[in-house]
Amino acid sequence: MGEFKVHRVRFFDYMPSAIRAMAFNRQMERLAVARADGAVEIFNFADNYFQEKVIPGRDGRAVEALCWVSGRLFSAGLDGAITEYDLENLRPRYSMDAYGGPIWTLSSNSQGTLLAAGCEDGTVKIFEVLQDRVQFQRNLDRQKGRIVSLCWHPSGGQIAVGMMDMLRIFDTQTGHATQRMLVERGLGASKSREVVVWSVAFLSDHTVISGDSAGKVQIWDGLTGTLIQTHLVSKWDVLVLSISQDESSAMAGTSEGTVVQFQFISSTVGQQDRQWVRTRTFKNHSHDVRALVHTDTAVVSGGMDTQLVVRPLLDKVEKNTQESALRKIAFPHRSLVSCAKKAGLLLFQFPDHLEVWRLGESDGNGAPWESLPVKRKPEKLIQLKRKGEDHICCSTLSPCGGWLAYSTICSVHLYRLQLSSNNISIQKVSKLPRELRSVHQLSFSSDSSRLFASSSLSSVVMVTLDQTEIKHIHTFRHQSGSKQPVHILSPSEDGQWLAAANTDGEIHVFDLQKKTLHCSVPTYSSCPTAVSVHPSGCSLVSVHADHQIFEFSLKQKEFTQWSRQLQRRGLHPLWLQRDTPITGVTFNPRNPAQILLHDTFMFCIIDQSLPLPEERTKLYNQALLRSLPQTQRPRESHAFKIFKNFQHLLCVALMEDRSLVVVERPLLDIMSQLPAPVRQKKFAT
């Protein structure tokens, strides 16, 4: 059916950052994840764990704690500031110094009125959460030694605090410490090292659970300040604890990469004397587990090895369903690669710099399944360091390879490139229109004459690019009232349309000639993860986080026949069971009926002219077809041609010369760049 010359690229040294902190909002079912570089990501657990939003980090911002207060997200870090994020414009709303030195922990009371921050100077600072800011209220009694962890009692009347070598309980009314509980140090050499209480939990029955650097999980009676139980769970540190909402289960994350579950159960069936019993151990990480969230059905963990792991608790979910599958989220759900189709260039986005590469070349053609000799090696043409402290949030390269644009949360940078064979020049465009200031997504038109940028309030700014002048033409707005950021911009090949999708799930199509909103695609419950307009300009294909595929006719403003047929027939179960979202959709210019899609583990060509696969047919049938003689293939083939030889895909793009570029980033390469994990005694080592 189709032969492709594939540029298999593995030189994108993408390195995700370690996970530092997590907070889960049970009402919104959103998980906020803070990484070591200061970036904050929002995952929608109700929508197939889709990574909805990414707030880029900033040099010097080290987030130590995240905290949701009703729909608002706060963070605190070692820079000593409390930050609230603007989740609509994907930037910090404000930052406020707490004046207590580095902040190790931040937690709100269950009423959502107060924030408590544990500081290096030994104070617990209470902040009042106001409508548009937080206001310092008072300090609790200052202690000697830093406050490493804290937890409110659900009533809000007390706070349990983890420090060096001890735990304390404060009365929030008086601000005085009411209990002091000494934590035993480790044995042997670590006897002389003070023990850090990394995490503490305070239950409504006044039980205090602590996890410390000596590897212990201890259970205390908070009323009397007495130790009830000690569980030694690790030779190294217990870094984080998380309690289920009904307080019947606790998780502890350790430096060994394990997550240990404790459950509050009676030792014999039918008796009332319940106690905390160590039950299960999960090992899904190779490195420290730094952040842990106990949702109702799963334990979500993250740490040094950069992967977010959702491990369903099999007693809480139905077995053998999609919900019961383990999920590891290792790659971002957006593209960090952009491709200049005509020029054969690749742009790689890193938090602090950009790289432009030219693809290699080979001689002539070869038979399928052969590697061609590389005549010219790929070369890195430009490495561009960003300006300022803010990390890069988006970047793009024009199809002709003549323009490069990137954006941080506060500014957009545009460069003019000249890349003849031996003369490379890059020139910054200095004067940009006012409208291009804070953008979330950038895209060039196919003829490279326009730049589109998604801006605040879901608007899209269009500027024209000229050798002499950059002019703001129009700002497209829609009337739906959604303020969510636009995360996908897709201009059509013919320059007629621009599709913009926001995280509310809306897809708006603007007419670029008339500069009006052409139509809005009916909103689907799941967020679009990839949108593209057909080169002919007649239809739009959107793929959503729940793996559904829609084709919308721009002429008739309704779903096409094929899309309806697909919905009627339903997608193949195996297709729906994939656990990474489709992050790219393109079309094959040679064959207008072919749609190219890819997720992390496969790429797929959907041929709309072929029959859709039935539920019982084999979805992954490429190997079977390959083994059949030519004449029998049509009988077996169906619309979904899934190719799984390339793994850990960050980008699949079709170039002008009809060759395919796949950018892979093998997980092993990422793992090999991680620091060594804590030493564990293995047998015979």
Partner 1 sequence: MAALCEGYTLCGLVPALNQLKSEIQGIEEERDCDHVIVTDSTRSVTLYKVSDQKPLGSWTVKQGQTLTCPAVYNRETNEYVAVSDNKVVRIWKEDDIVLDKACKAAVSADVRMVHCPHGGEPVVLFQGGAVRQLDALLSAPQQPIEEVLVQEETIRWSASIVAETQQLIIFTTELKGDHFLYLQRVNPNSVQRYRLEPEGPGLSPLSFSASYRDKNICLLYLYPKGHVYQSLVSVRVPPADEGAPAVPLPRHHLLSLPVGGQLLEAASAISLDDAHIAVVGVPHPSAGPGKDFLCIWNTNFQTLQAAKEMAGKLYGQLWCYSSKLFIPHGKTLSVVPFACPRSSLASALGKLKQLKTEETKPPTLVPSWNAVFHGEKAAPPKPVESRKTRTTRKTQSAPSLTTDQVQELIKTAPAEEVQKEVESLLSRQELQDLQPSLGQLALSLVSRSLADPAFYSSSTLTQLVHTQCLSHSVCPDLLPLALEKKDYFLCQLCLQFFPDIPEAVTCSCLKAFISLPDADAEKLSLEPDSVSFMEMLISSEHAQAGLQNGFSPTSCKEDGTDAIDGPQTKAKEKEKAPPQQMCPLGSHKAALINEVLQTAYSETFLLPHLKDLSSDHVVLFLQYLEFLYLRYSTDSFPQTHGYRSPTLNQIMDWVCMLLDAHFTVLVMTPVVKSLLLNFQHFVRSQVRLFSELGKIEGSLQELNNMKRTKDVGQYSIEIIELY
The site for partner 1 (CB under 8 A) is made up of 1-11, 360, 362, 365-372, 374, 377-378, 605, 622, 625-626, 633, 637, 641, 643, 645, 660
Q: For residues 341 and 391, which CB has a smaller minimum distance to partner 1 in the complex?
A: 341
Q: For residues 273 and 370, which CB has a smaller minimum distance to partner 1 in the complex?
A: 370
Cα–Cα distance measured from residue 34 to residue 574, given in angstroms and rounded to the nearest whole number: 32
**3 state SS of 644:** coil
Q: Would you say 150 and 140 are in contact if contact means Cβ atoms under 8 Å apart?
A: no
CB of 648 vs partner 1, minimal distance in Å: 12
Q: Could you give the C-alpha distances from 312 to 250, 298, 317, 410, 599, in angstroms and in order?
A: 14, 4, 7, 39, 23
Beta-bridge mates of residue 220: 208, 227
Cα–Cα distance measured from residue 536 to residue 497, given in angstroms and rounded to the nearest whole number: 10
CB of 375 vs partner 1, minimal distance in Å: 9
CB of 7 vs partner 1, minimal distance in Å: 6
Cα–Cα distance measured from residue 629 to residue 647, given in angstroms and rounded to the nearest whole number: 28
CB of 150 vs partner 1, minimal distance in Å: 47
Residue in the structure block whose two tokens are 């500027």: 463
CB of 383 vs partner 1, minimal distance in Å: 16
Q: Centre a 10 Å sphere on the Cβ of residue 384 and count the other Cβ atoms it contains.
A: 20
Q: For residues 371 and 685, which CB has a smaller minimum distance to partner 1 in the complex?
A: 371
CB of 8 vs partner 1, minimal distance in Å: 5
Tell which residue, 330, 347, 479, 494, has the closest CA to residue 415. 347
Tell which residue, 159, 165, 160, has the closest CA to residue 145. 165
CB of 543 vs partner 1, minimal distance in Å: 19
Angle, CA 531 vertex, CA 527 and CA 534 arms, to 5°: 150
Q: For residues 10 and 26, which CB has a smaller minimum distance to partner 1 in the complex?
A: 10
Q: For residues 228 and 610, which CB has a smaller minimum distance to partner 1 in the complex?
A: 610
Q: For residues 117 and 639, which CB has a smaller minimum distance to partner 1 in the complex?
A: 639
CB of 640 vs partner 1, minimal distance in Å: 11
CB of 680 vs partner 1, minimal distance in Å: 25
Phi-psi region of 681 (alpha: psi -120 to 50; beta: other; left: phi over 0): beta
**3 state SS of 134:** strand
Q: For residues 367 and 676, which CB has a smaller minimum distance to partner 1 in the complex?
A: 367
CB of 339 vs partner 1, minimal distance in Å: 15
Q: For residues 487 and 665, which CB has a smaller minimum distance to partner 1 in the complex?
A: 665
Q: For residues 3 and 656, which CB has a smaller minimum distance to partner 1 in the complex?
A: 3
SS (H, E, C) 13-80: CCCCCCEEEEEEECCCCEEEEEECCCCEEEEECCCCCEEEEEECCECCCCEEEEEEECCEEEEEECCC
Q: For residues 131 and 371, which CB has a smaller minimum distance to partner 1 in the complex?
A: 371
Q: For residues 212 and 664, which CB has a smaller minimum distance to partner 1 in the complex?
A: 664
Q: For residues 292 and 595, which CB has a smaller minimum distance to partner 1 in the complex?
A: 595
CB of 337 vs partner 1, minimal distance in Å: 14
Side chain identity, residue 221:
D
CB of 374 vs partner 1, minimal distance in Å: 6
Phi-psi region of 375 (alpha: psi -120 to 50; beta: other; left: phi over 0): alpha
Tell which residue, 43, 127, 143, 149, has the closest CA to residue 82. 127
CB of 643 vs partner 1, minimal distance in Å: 6
Q: For residues 6 and 36, which CB has a smaller minimum distance to partner 1 in the complex?
A: 6
Sheet holding 337-340, edge to edge: 337-340, 345-349, 353-358, 379-385
Side chain identity, residue 272:
Q
Beta-bridge mates of residue 149: 162
Q: For residues 516 and 647, which CB has a smaller minimum distance to partner 1 in the complex?
A: 647
Q: For residues 156 and 589, which CB has a smaller minimum distance to partner 1 in the complex?
A: 589
CB of 326 vs partner 1, minimal distance in Å: 24
Q: Which long-range contacts (CB under 8 A, 24 or more apart) does 409-416 make?
A: 409/55, 409/56, 409/90, 409/91, 409/92, 409/438, 410/91, 410/437, 410/438, 411/387, 411/437, 411/438, 412/436, 412/437, 412/439, 412/442, 412/453, 413/386, 413/387, 414/451, 414/465, 414/470, 415/384, 416/467
Exposed, middle or buried by CB within 10 Å (0-12, 13-18, 19+), for 573? exposed
* 527 half-sphere exposure, CB direction, 13 A CA radius: 24
CB of 571 vs partner 1, minimal distance in Å: 19
In this structure, the chain runs to a length of: 685
Q: DSSP state, 305?
A: T
